[in-house]
Amino acid sequence: MAVIAPVSEQDYIDQMVANRAAIQRATVFPDIEGRRPLSMDSGFRVPDFAFGLLSDFLPVDMADEGGDYEPAVPQFAKNLVNFMSRTGASAVGDAPMMAPEDMAMGLLDFTGAGVVAGTPARIAAKEAGDVMLGSAGGYYGGILDDVDPKFIERLKRIADGTYANEPYFPSNISDLGNLKEGKPYGDMTSTSVQEVDLSPQTIMRPEDFTDANIIFTVGDRTSTGRRLLDVDGVPLSGGGLLTDGGAYFTRGVSQQADDSVWASGDEVIDALGSRIDEFSETGDPTKLVYVGMGPKSDEYSKMPTRAALQLLPNTKISQKTVSKFNEAMRKFYPEFVGLKSGKISDQLMSNGEMRKKFLEVMESVKGGLPDIQSIRKAITEKELLGLPTGSGGLAVSDVTGPARILKRADQTTPHDTYSDAIQGKGGGIIGAGRVPMEIYAPKFISGRREIGSAPASDYRSFSMPKAFKTQRGNPEFVDRLGQYLHEAGRMGLLD
């Protein structure tokens, strides 16, 4: 039986990092995205003979676009901070640790107004060591500089409570739907109760992945074991909807009754089973790590469609709206039986692609139909609301040994949507499910960069069906994971 770790993840990580502080205190100053150091080809002309003398002292960088000059940290200040870090000296006493560039800027800020007029000095903030951003932009220091700044910024918005259904990728209209303007995020309400007691959760530590063969399972964000009773004040008919998917499937009734940790169609499960069998020959542990799909990835699942259908009997809809909806659906599926047909549930439950179109049309047709974005928010696991696409670690399962595949006929509590399942021991979690791809899949990322692939398409490649990307838990992986947990934790991003 899984147990709760006796020491919190953050306390453990802090101690681990503290033990290596003498090595980690000296931090390299990485390049800042979108800016470059002042140089002869920067467009700012400095005579050759003078450049060598001035380069250590000029606190100026130039933006790549627009030719605007912005404050930077002179090299002599960087050198001073690195010296202080290596020798253990500190100008901030017992204050929280600052990124070296921010410390250097602080050393130069004698007036409190910044080295260059109009530029606020950075300060250490929030006891956790969060760094307020100045004009330098998305700079956080340490290993966080290896992570997409948008990922960190989204975690900050979730942590400070300002996230409000905005897109993570520019192509999305909103996180939860396709409308440019929908119901305000705070007005999307629902009532649900945790009907199924989830099995205990074990907080995992970086060294738990030592020498492990890690397989990433990309899944939707639907919740597990919750009884949804109403959405936006409208009750669901039939006693509500019981959710059974997503990351916490590894802790739900299927795990408890059948040891199931992942469910999908037979071809996908067969592909996953083959990958597990390959690793079983190594004799090392094999772990499945959940990676969250996009917020609208639940469309194929039966849950949002069931919720919409159960809301319809208690929703006042005009015949004109019904006709508009039926007409829109039949442009794609001429055989659609109709919104008021008694056969609509059977038709939709047997066709995943039709379910996806049903939800899209319901969102686009005006006239008082159930709000799809509110439904999506209601059935999403609360820990996954707002997280960037590709966030990993909310569920970790052990599947060491030959793959154990359960067909639907052999399952005590089969998944509502998918036929087959993989057995294992679930209940693990790492980094509160907020670990970015740059940290959990460095082999994949470096391979993409080597062939010149753009970062913007990383997730699409990573999440291809039946691909099941992998990572070895080598010492470098374990070390980087520990560093990320420490630095993100100190910024309050894993709370």
What sign does the CA torsion over 180, 181, 187, 191 have?
Answer: negative
Q: What is the pTM of this model?
A: 0.73
Closest CA to 333 of 303, 360, 313, 368: 360
Six-digit token string for 199: 């099995």
Six-digit token string for 396: 């970790």
Report the SS3 class of residue 181.
coil
The total number of residues shown for the chain amounts to: 495
- The pLDDT of residue 167: 82
What phi and psi values does residue 445 have, to the nearest 5 degrees?
-65, -45
d(CA 283, CA 290): 22
d(CA 291, CA 392): 4
Q: Where are the domains of the chain?
A: 28-140, 159-179+187-297+376-490
- The pLDDT of residue 166: 85
**How are beta strands 190-194 and 130-131 bridged, if at all?**
unpaired
- The pLDDT of residue 266: 93
- The pLDDT of residue 82: 47
- The pLDDT of residue 17: 54
- The pLDDT of residue 170: 64
Closest CA to 329 of 303, 363, 357, 307: 357
Contacts of residue 251, Cβ cutoff 8 Å, sequence gap at least 6: 198, 199, 200, 201, 224, 395, 426, 427
pLDDT tens-digit profile, the chain (495 residues): 444 444 555 565 565 555 544 334 333 333 333 333 333 333 333 343 343 444 444 444 433 334 433 344 455 454 554 444 444 433 333 333 444 443 443 333 332 333 333 333 333 333 333 333 332 334 577 999 999 999 999 999 999 999 999 887 666 678 898 776 678 999 999 999 999 999 999 999 999 999 999 999 999 999 999 999 999 999 999 999 999 888 899 999 999 999 999 999 999 999 999 999 999 999 999 999 999 998 888 998 999 999 999 999 999 999 999 999 999 999 999 999 999 999 999 999 999 999 999 999 999 999 999 999 999 999 999 999 999 999 999 999 999 999 999 999 999 988 888 899 999 999 999 999 999 999 999 999 999 999 999 998 999 999 987 889 999 999 999 999 999 999 999 999 998
Burial 96-125 (b: 16+ CB within 10 A, else e): bbbbbbbbbbbbbbeeeebbeeebebbbbe
Tokens 């400095």 map to which residue?
46
- Region of 452 on the Ramachandran plot (φ > 0 left; ψ -120 to 50 alpha; else beta): left
What residue type is 415 in one-letter code?
Answer: H
The Cβ of residue 445 has, within 10 Å, a number of other Cβ atoms equal to 20
- The pLDDT of residue 182: 77
